[in-house]
Chains A and B, each alone.
Chain A
Amino acid sequence: MTAELIHRLHFAFTITFHYLFPQLTMGLALLIVVLKSVALKTGSEEWDRAARFWGRIFGINFVFGVVTGIPMEFQFGTNWARFSRLSGGVIGQPLAMEGVFSFFLESAFLGLFLYGEKRLSKFMHWLSAVMVLAGSWISGFFIIVTDAWMQHPVAYERTASGQFEVLSFWQLLLNPWGLLQYAHNMTGAVVTGSFVMAAVGAFYLLDGPMQGYGRIFLKVGVVSGVISCILIIFPTGDLHGKYVARHQPAAMAAMEGLFKTESGAGIILMGQPNEETGQIDNPIVVNNVLSFLIYGTTKAEVTGLDHFPRDQWPTALPLLYYAYHIMAGLGTYFVLLMIAAAFLLWRRKLYTARWMLWLLLISFPLPYIANTAGWMTAEIGRQPWLIYGLMRTSEGFSNTVSAGNGLFTLIGFMGLYALLGLLFTVLVYREISRGPHPIADPKAVVVAD
């Protein structure tokens, strides 16, 4: 195993595991604000308890996100030193801003939200939930800005020594790639949050004793689910895809499995890309659709991989193709499922439609897979570049850190994260089986000291 491969796996593994948590943090933060807002407006103790219940799960999830997130910021320096040395003046900026503008906000108000309810007025407690939402979404923004610059570098200049410097701060923050990716990604986080909330609601309705809460969770989860599942395809996914096709045509060709440039290109729904023969094995194709999706006309020419020299093809081509197809396939399933669930909710049949409750329950892991696959599409699609078109991945890793030392810490992280995964599952399982129990003396919760 080469040092380059180890360093790539090191980042890939730790970021993939990490992002299981923030996607729920960001999605759930929004839904908790919804619960708190209803509670504030109606004075309903039940909705307040529902918010408190999700606050506990949020707290667990948040801590796992924090502790797996700290290694991410360090790894730019530890494993990708040559990249950091040249690009620190640009991407160090949004990364530092994330700490200063988001983490301070988020951690301060989460402390208040989780520990301070007794001492805060109802309005202030609601406000701290809103601040946690703001903190987590600002955090996502700065990370996307960082990634967007690597995907689509803007507003930079190179000094004589090869270092990248920012030319325009605002152009860096408002990179069009970043704005599209941010919209798409945050919608993805809401999809995860909605599916998780709806699944717990379905579980309570199927299981029995906590019917009232089950209805609340289902209602909120399905309504936000149907909205976010539509938005993730149109307009956010659609616009983002078109932008990728324009600026990273090699990545788009590989995602779609398009080996040859074609006009009136078809979309491949299924099949296995065969790099050796340059074709798709066992393809199921719908003619002309790809040209239409990218250019709005069925006749347009779509650039295939044959247009690019082999050393500019994404390095893990089949994985990129599968990641993209899994994301898109699941996205299609989500929108169908949520529209059906929303229809049942509207017809007042959802709470008794056991088949749908079962589907919602077992579907909760799928948004995690879709979000992960989406990120894999973005990051594998960027290969072989670390900064698209400017710096290759092979030029960026720390060459003072040997493959042996890298593998040592990679194995260490794998062991530690396996343990974390187990603990997380146990903890969340316990919270869900306990449920949002009524508190013995409800007054104790609202009376200020």
Chain B
Amino acid sequence: MMGFIWFWLVAVMIVGYVVLDGFDLGVGVLHLFLVRTEAERRASLRSIGPVWDGNEVWLLAGGGTLYFAFPLLYASAFSGFYLPLMIVLWLLVLRGVSLELRNHIDVGVWLALLDGVFGLSSALLTIFFGAALANVLRGVPLQADGYFFLPLWTNWRPGVSPGILDWYTVIGGLVALVALTLHGALWLAIKVSGDLAKRACSLINPLLALVSLLTIVSLIATIAVRPASLDNYYHYPFTFIVPVGVLACLAGIWFFNRNHQPVKAFLSSSVYLFFMLAGACWGVYPTLLPATTGADRDITLGRALSGPHTLSVGLAWWIFGMTLAIGYFVFVYSHFKGKVDANSAGH
């Protein structure tokens, strides 16, 4: 029971991270090509300025929760994905610093450099996160002692000894890139005004078409790479509501965008991300990290779970702490709600 609860609590934190940091990563990707003037750049950055740092905390809090609830998984996955994780850390450093520097520098050349670093690191991060999830779904070459080490690439094919990148995980990366860019465009549609908002809106339908296509491709690819992903669904047929929900959310984005209801379109996109991730989690449950080297080496919920006292104490403070955290988020987002003021720079 504790295993079931903690599996989904960690999943909720990952979803929280993707939905929240997802839009500011998407705004970062759009920063590469959508915004044109300095005023637009400022408005676009201002729309995420007060919140991106808090959004990123979901990653940290999620990582910490994973650490104490499933120490074996944390130890195995973090050391096994050593190289891509380090690259992700470097990208997070570059992204955070370039964003902050932009508030303090007003020389054109440096601004252009910072914009480039910010946009590229955002784009690469979305690709890495998508590929990371795909790695977990595909499985890794776990040894008998529960550890593994993945090179960045081998022969680009999923198999017994794959690399971080193969054709399947690259698809995962692309899904994340396009889906989060769309998520960012929907955010901009709410937060900015004028020309930039118009351009963001006109980008939504093409992105949406691409997301829909990639979503279907990734679903088929996942079933091809790991047929067992469907077992839980066949066992509990009502859970086919998840893929139906995915499609409904895509339709919702289109519908609300057409009716000029940007907040609802953005929420549809958030629920889309939720269904995609929840669907993936449900596809592997109760495995946490499948082994390509034989199912008996899978890291399962039962194997990785912490002791009962740790988990029940953890549950008490987790519920209390996350209630507080959600309270702050509601307060901050409602405080900064509405269009950003293009004239006011950072702090």
Q: Is the CB of A400 within 8 A of B80?
A: yes
B235 contacts partner chain A, Cβ-Cβ < 8 Å: no
A440 contacts partner chain B, Cβ-Cβ < 8 Å: no
Interface SS of B by simple majority: helix
Determine the residue in chain A with the shortest Cβ distance to B317.
A97
20 of the cross-chain contacts (CB-CB < 8 Å) are A68-B93, A73-B63, A73-B64, A77-B78, A81-B78, A85-B75, A89-B306, A89-B307, A90-B68, A96-B64, A96-B318, A97-B317, A99-B61, A100-B65, A101-B321, A115-B50, A119-B335, A398-B79, A409-B82, A430-B104
- CB neighbours (8 Å) of A169 from chain B are 313
- CB neighbours (8 Å) of B69 from chain A are 92
Task: Report B42-97 residues with CB < 8 Å from chain A CB.
Answer: 49-51, 53-54, 56-57, 59-65, 67-72, 74-80, 82-83, 85-86, 89-90, 92-94, 96-97
A223 contacts partner chain B, Cβ-Cβ < 8 Å: no
B325 contacts partner chain A, Cβ-Cβ < 8 Å: yes
- CB neighbours (8 Å) of B146 from chain A are 85
A89 to B307 Cα, complex, angstroms: 7
Contact with A96, one of B56, B65, B105, B344 (Cβ below 8 angstroms): B65
B314 contacts partner chain A, Cβ-Cβ < 8 Å: yes
Q: Is the CB of A85 within 8 A of B60?
A: no
Q: Contacts A70-B92, A163-B307, A166-B310 given; indicate if A114 touches B71 (C-beta within 8 A).
A: no
For the complex formed, measure the closest distance between the CB of A336 and the CB atoms of chain B, giving whole angstroms.
36
For the complex formed, measure the closest distance between the CB of B108 and the CB atoms of chain A, giving whole angstroms.
16
Interface string of A374-393 (1 = CB under 8 A from B): 00000000000000000000
Q: Is the CB of A105 within 8 A of B324?
A: yes
B332 contacts partner chain A, Cβ-Cβ < 8 Å: yes
A223 to B77 Cα, complex, angstroms: 49
Q: Is the CB of B71 within 8 A of A92?
A: yes
A81 to B71 Cα, complex, angstroms: 9
For the complex formed, measure the closest distance between the CB of B68 and the CB atoms of chain A, giving whole angstroms.
3
A405 to B50 Cα, complex, angstroms: 37
Q: Is the CB of A84 within 8 A of B75?
A: yes
A110 to B50 Cα, complex, angstroms: 8
A170 to B89 Cα, complex, angstroms: 33
B255 contacts partner chain A, Cβ-Cβ < 8 Å: no
A320 contacts partner chain B, Cβ-Cβ < 8 Å: no
B167 contacts partner chain A, Cβ-Cβ < 8 Å: no
B195 contacts partner chain A, Cβ-Cβ < 8 Å: no
Contact with A78, one of B51, B61, B86 (Cβ below 8 angstroms): B86
> 16 extra interchain contacts, Cβ-Cβ under 8 A, other than A88-B75, A400-B149?
A56-B104, A63-B53, A63-B99, A63-B100, A74-B63, A74-B89, A77-B67, A82-B75, A86-B71, A90-B310, A92-B64, A95-B64, A101-B321, A108-B328, A111-B332, A400-B82
- CB neighbours (8 Å) of B72 from chain A are 85, 88
Q: Is the CB of A88 within 8 A of B93?
A: no
Contact with B60, one of A56, A103, A412, A430 (Cβ below 8 angstroms): A103
List the 5 closest pairs (A to B, CB-CB), nearest first. Answer: A88-B71, A77-B78, A92-B68, A96-B64, A99-B61
Q: Contacts A59-B100, A108-B328, A427-B104 given; indicate if A420 touches B67 (C-beta within 8 A).
A: no
Q: Is the CB of A89 within 8 A of B96?
A: no
A203 contacts partner chain B, Cβ-Cβ < 8 Å: no
Q: Contacts A81-B78, A115-B336 given; indicate if A165 touches B309 (C-beta within 8 A).
A: yes
- CB neighbours (8 Å) of A405 from chain B are 82-83, 149
A425 contacts partner chain B, Cβ-Cβ < 8 Å: no
Q: How extensive is the interface on chain B, given as a class?
A: 35 or more
A427 to B53 Cα, complex, angstroms: 19
For the complex formed, measure the closest distance between the CB of A397 and the CB atoms of chain B, giving whole angstroms.
9
Q: Contacts A165-B310, A400-B79 given; indicate if A100 touches B347 (C-beta within 8 A).
A: no
Contact with A114, one of B50, B54, B99, B335 (Cβ below 8 angstroms): B50
Contact with A104, one of B57, B92, B309 (Cβ below 8 angstroms): B57
Q: Contacts A79-B79, A401-B82, A409-B86 given; indicate if A100 touches B332 (C-beta within 8 A).
A: no
Please report A residues at the B interface, Cβ cutoff 8 Å. 55-56, 59-60, 63-64, 66-68, 70-71, 73-74, 76-79, 81-82, 84-93, 95-101, 103-105, 107-112, 114-116, 118-119, 159, 163, 165-167, 169, 398-402, 405, 408-409, 412-413, 416, 420, 423, 427, 430-431
Contact with B79, one of A78, A111, A116 (Cβ below 8 angstroms): A78
- CB neighbours (8 Å) of B75 from chain A are 77, 81-82, 84-85, 88, 398
For the complex formed, measure the closest distance between the CB of B27 and the CB atoms of chain A, giving whole angstroms.
16
A269 to B221 Cα, complex, angstroms: 69
Q: Is the CB of B79 within 8 A of A108?
A: no
Determine the residue in chain B with the shortest Cβ distance to A169.
B313
Q: Is the CB of A110 within 8 A of B53?
A: yes
Q: Is the CB of B309 within 8 A of A431?
A: no
A90 to B311 Cα, complex, angstroms: 10
- CB neighbours (8 Å) of B54 from chain A are 104, 107-108, 111
- CB neighbours (8 Å) of B344 from chain A are 118
- CB neighbours (8 Å) of B307 from chain A are 89, 159, 163, 165-166
- CB neighbours (8 Å) of B322 from chain A are 100
A100 to B316 Cα, complex, angstroms: 12
For the complex formed, measure the closest distance between the CB of B28 and the CB atoms of chain A, giving whole angstroms.
15
Q: Is the CB of B74 within 8 A of A401?
A: no
- CB neighbours (8 Å) of A90 from chain B are 68, 310
- CB neighbours (8 Å) of A96 from chain B are 61, 64-65, 67-68, 314, 318
Q: Contacts A101-B321, A115-B336 given; indicate if A84 touches B310 (C-beta within 8 A).
A: no
Q: Contacts A88-B75, A112-B332, A427-B101 given; indicate if A104 touches B90 (C-beta within 8 A).
A: no
Determine the residue in chain B with the shortest Cβ distance to A92.
B68
B8 contacts partner chain A, Cβ-Cβ < 8 Å: no
Q: Is the CB of A400 within 8 A of B64?
A: no
Q: Is the CB of B347 within 8 A of A56?
A: yes
- CB neighbours (8 Å) of B76 from chain A are 81, 85
B4 contacts partner chain A, Cβ-Cβ < 8 Å: no
Most chain A C-beta atoms within 10 Å of own C-beta, residue among B83, B85, B310: B310
Q: Is the CB of B77 within 8 A of A77?
A: yes
A76 to B309 Cα, complex, angstroms: 22
A68 to B92 Cα, complex, angstroms: 9
Determine the residue in chain B with the shortest Cβ distance to A417.
B93
- CB neighbours (8 Å) of B59 from chain A are 70
Q: Is the CB of A99 within 8 A of B57?
A: yes
A442 to B90 Cα, complex, angstroms: 40
A56 to B105 Cα, complex, angstroms: 13
Q: Is the CB of B67 within 8 A of A92?
A: yes
A104 to B318 Cα, complex, angstroms: 13
B233 contacts partner chain A, Cβ-Cβ < 8 Å: no
Determine the residue in chain A with the shortest Cβ distance to B306.
A89
Determine the residue in chain B with the shortest Cβ distance to A71.
B89
A350 to B323 Cα, complex, angstroms: 49
For the complex formed, measure the closest distance between the CB of A448 and the CB atoms of chain B, giving whole angstroms.
12
Contact with A95, one of B68, B85, B313, B321 (Cβ below 8 angstroms): B68
- CB neighbours (8 Å) of B62 from chain A are 99
For the complex formed, measure the closest distance between the CB of A257 and the CB atoms of chain B, giving whole angstroms.
38
B329 contacts partner chain A, Cβ-Cβ < 8 Å: yes
- CB neighbours (8 Å) of B317 from chain A are 97, 100-101
A159 to B310 Cα, complex, angstroms: 13
B148 contacts partner chain A, Cβ-Cβ < 8 Å: yes
B294 contacts partner chain A, Cβ-Cβ < 8 Å: no
